[in-house]
Amino acid sequence: MLADIEEFYRLDRLPHIWCPGCGNGIVLACLVKAIKELKYDQDKTVVVSGIGCSSRASAYLDFNTLHTTHGRALAFATGIKLAKPELNIFVITGDGDSSAIGGNHLIHAARRNIDLNVVIFNNNIYGMTGGQYSPLTPKVQKATTAPYGTIERPFDLAKLVEAAGATYVARSTAYHTRLTTELIINGAKNKGFSVTEVISQCPVSYGRRNRFNTPAAMLEWQREMAVPVIKARSMAPEELEGKIITGELYRGHAPEYVSEYTKLTQRLKEEAEGV
Contacting positions for its own copies (CB under 8 A): 100-101, 103-104, 107-108, 111-113, 135, 148, 151-156, 159-160, 162-165, 254-255, 257, 260-261, 263-264, 267-268
> In terms of DSSP bridges, do strands 194-199 and 117-122 run parallel, antiparallel, or are they unpaired?
parallel
The neighbour count for residue 125, using CB atoms within 10 Å, is 31
**Which residues ranging from 81 to 120 are in contact with Mg ion (CB under 5 A)?**
94-95
Site for ligand TPP in 189-208 (CB under 6 A): 202
Q: Is 29 or 107 the residue whose CB approaches ligand SF4 more closely?
A: 29
CA angle 56, 160, 100 (to 5 degrees): 40
C-alpha span between 178 and 272 (Å, rounded): 50
d(CA 271, CA 249): 41
Question: By CB under 6 A, what part of segment 41-100 binds ligand TPP?
Answer: 51-54, 70, 94-97
Query: Which stretches of the chain bind ligand SF4, using CB under 6 A?
Result: 18-19, 22, 24, 53, 123, 127-128, 202-205
Total chain residues near ligand TPP (CB under 6 A)? 18
Q: In this structure, what DSSP letter does residue 175 have? A: S
98, 123, 132, 205: which one binds Mg ion (CB under 5 A): 123
Per-residue DSSP letter, 166: -
19 binds, among Mg ion, ligand SF4, its own copies, none (CB under 5 to 8 A by kind): ligand SF4
For other proteins, give the closer residue by CB, 128 or 185.
128
Least Cα distance to 195 among 165, 217, 216, 218 occurs for: 165
